[in-house]
A = this chain, B = another copy of it.
Amino acid sequence: MSVPHPYWLRDNCPCPECRAPRGGQKLFRIGDLPDGLSAVEATRDATRLAVRWSDGHRSHYPAGWDAPAGPDERTEHAKRLWEAADFARGLPEADWATYLADPEERIAVLAAVRRSGFAVLRGVPAVAGQVLRVARSFGYVRETNYGELFDVRAEPDPANLAFTCLAVAPHTDNPYRDPVPTLQLLHCLRNDCAGGDSGLVDGFQAAALLRAEDPAAFDLLARTPVPFRYRDRGVELSAEKPLIGLDPRGAIREVRFNDRSTDTAALSAPAPAELDAFYAAHRRFAATVLRPELRLDLRLAPGDCLLLDNTRLLHARTAFEPGDGHRHLQGCYADLDALSSTLAVLRRTAAVLDELEALFEGEGSREYLGEAVTLAAHMLQAAALARAADAPPALVAAALLHDIGHFRGGGPELTAGTGDRHGEGAAARLAPHFPPAVTEPVRLHVDAKRYLCATEPGYAALLSPASVRTLAAQGGPMAPDEAAAFAAHPFGADAVAVRRWDEAAKDPAAATPSFAEFRPLLRELMQP
């Protein structure tokens, strides 16, 4: 049986020679593969494809390894394009305290920013500097010449029109920067002036409308780099990018729109003959952006923090009367890549916990090597003993998970590990998700039995018959030099503690907690 696209297939060989087991980094260079690579033998069954290659290498692909990926998450194809009426029933919003406490709420907020381009957090303390805390809840602050954070309020000698009380038309921020900050946060500290309302426009939707209504104008804007510029004391920023940025296949991927900082004197872009066409297209796009049905009006109240995708959404504000009131926002920039990473980790964490819970409830209910309790009850009892001993969370988790190497199954998240000795295997499966303080005691808990049998008179007598049976297969009691090395291991003592709970957790009469009780503790450990 021959295989299609041999280099592609081989490029994706998941074996530990080709991919680092932890993290999955590729361990060979694409040019290291021989010319004329082909499959000598290929067999496929329900669970995997096995290939022997012309250079002798063997690859085994699990079913579904080549499941088609979704569209690039930054393009229009991964977004929900919107007009104002789409939010008639409410904005994507959440309470700050709930967002902090509940991973599902965090997932909802971050997913809304990715999908709709924005979300509002309510009840963020209206105290200076909190906007940085919001940014750091999912990513990293992008410092600029405006500082780590910047105050948006009327200033006496403003360098930037943002810092006046004038209306500001819909725009994306900092188009004169490359890379542009891909996220903006605006946190309202005070807003008791007349006016000063906010407005949002989906720039992807405006671009899509232009494409539908005037494809030639859309094309011209997409292929014309426009110079943007901002200068002030100590600053001279410029970037050259089209108003509508496409991916190589023509999907909308970025909008830059900012009347204030387009610097078309330097427009080297269109041929002179195209200048009039460019301006007609530019004005048509500008008119599209200003259509009332596209503009979502909202008023930020103290404590509201708006998160918005600055590669897509335009934001605006109405003029305000300083009068007796004040309008004071604090803003900062951040980036979408870290937001998406945090969202993916939150989802992965939930998936791993679901898988573990399913394993405890499924395979875990089977008999455990002849012991009087099931495998799940054994591990849950071990965790309960650790908890009762006031062990630190990582050690409670290690006690809970120490025998997952005995599980055969596991979804995609838990099959990354290799090896099936049960300590090593469990540690390898957990390593992508848990810190060494969890995985090392798990890995070493088999050795801990061998250590205790060697060093603690009478310990062997406490072992259950099943545990005595496996001791020989595991290598028997440690030799003195091996035991000394084990005692010196940074996680040796923790492994011994897990081992003692392990031995004690085989009591058919003991109360057994549920897996669900340990989910918050596990989740906490999975998110550094």
Q: A: which residues have CB within 8 A of B? A: 4-5, 7-8, 11-12, 20, 22-31, 33, 65-66, 68-69, 71-74, 140-145, 157, 159-161, 169, 176-180, 182, 222-225, 227, 229-240, 242, 247-249, 259-262, 264-268, 272, 275-276, 278-279, 282-283, 286-287, 290, 335-338, 340-341, 344-345, 348, 431-436, 526-528
Contacts and interface: CB of A to CB of B under 8 A. Distances in A.
Contacts of A26: 259-262
A111 B7 CA distance: 41
B222 A74 contact: no
Contact of A337 (B8, B65, B179): B179
Given A157-B436, A266-B69, A337-B177, A282 B232 contact: no
9 contacts: A8-B264, A24-B231, A66-B265, A74-B178, A145-B341, A179-B337, A225-B247, A236-B341, A242-B248
A265 B65 contact: yes
B236 A224 contact: no
Contacts of A20: 161
Contact of A279 (B11, B25, B287): B11
Contacts of A278: 8
Given A23-B160, A25-B160, A33-B283, 8 more contacts: A12-B264, A23-B159, A26-B261, A27-B260, A30-B262, A30-B286, A31-B287, A231-B432
Q: Which 3 A-B pairs have the closest CB atoms?
A: A179-B179, A69-B266, A236-B344
Given A12-B264, A72-B225, A222-B248, A233 B432 contact: yes
A398 to B, nearest CB: 15
Nearest to A282: B30
Given A145-B341, A335-B179, A436-B157, A22 B279 contact: no
A224 B8 CA distance: 14
A235 B462 CA distance: 43
A281 to B, nearest CB: 11
A230 B25 contact: yes
Contact of A12 (B249, B265, B341, B527): B265
Contacts of A160: 23, 25
B259 A30 contact: yes
A175 to B, nearest CB: 11
Contacts of A240: 72-74, 247
A341 B236 CA distance: 5
Nearest to A247: B225
A279 B8 contact: yes
A140 B26 CA distance: 31
A248 B233 contact: no
B236 A345 contact: yes
Give the interface centre of A5, A242, A433, A434 by most chain B CB atoms within 10 Å: A5
B337 A237 contact: yes
Contacts of A157: 436
Nearest to A259: B29
Contact of A290 (B31, B227, B259): B31
B22 A232 contact: yes
Contacts of A338: 144-145, 237
Nearest to A274: B5
B272 A227 contact: no
Nearest to A250: B223
A411 to B, nearest CB: 16
A345 B234 contact: yes
Contacts of A73: 238, 240
B69 A268 contact: yes
A31 B286 contact: yes
A279 B259 CA distance: 43
A500 B495 CA distance: 81
A249 B241 CA distance: 11
Contacts of A12: 264-265
Contact of A435 (B8, B24, B233): B233
A527 B142 contact: no
Contacts of A266: 68-69
A433 B161 CA distance: 18
A180 B74 CA distance: 14
Contacts of A431: 233
A29 B169 contact: yes
B142 A142 contact: yes
Given A178-B337, A236-B344, A23 B69 contact: no
Contacts of A238: 73, 340, 344
B232 A432 contact: yes
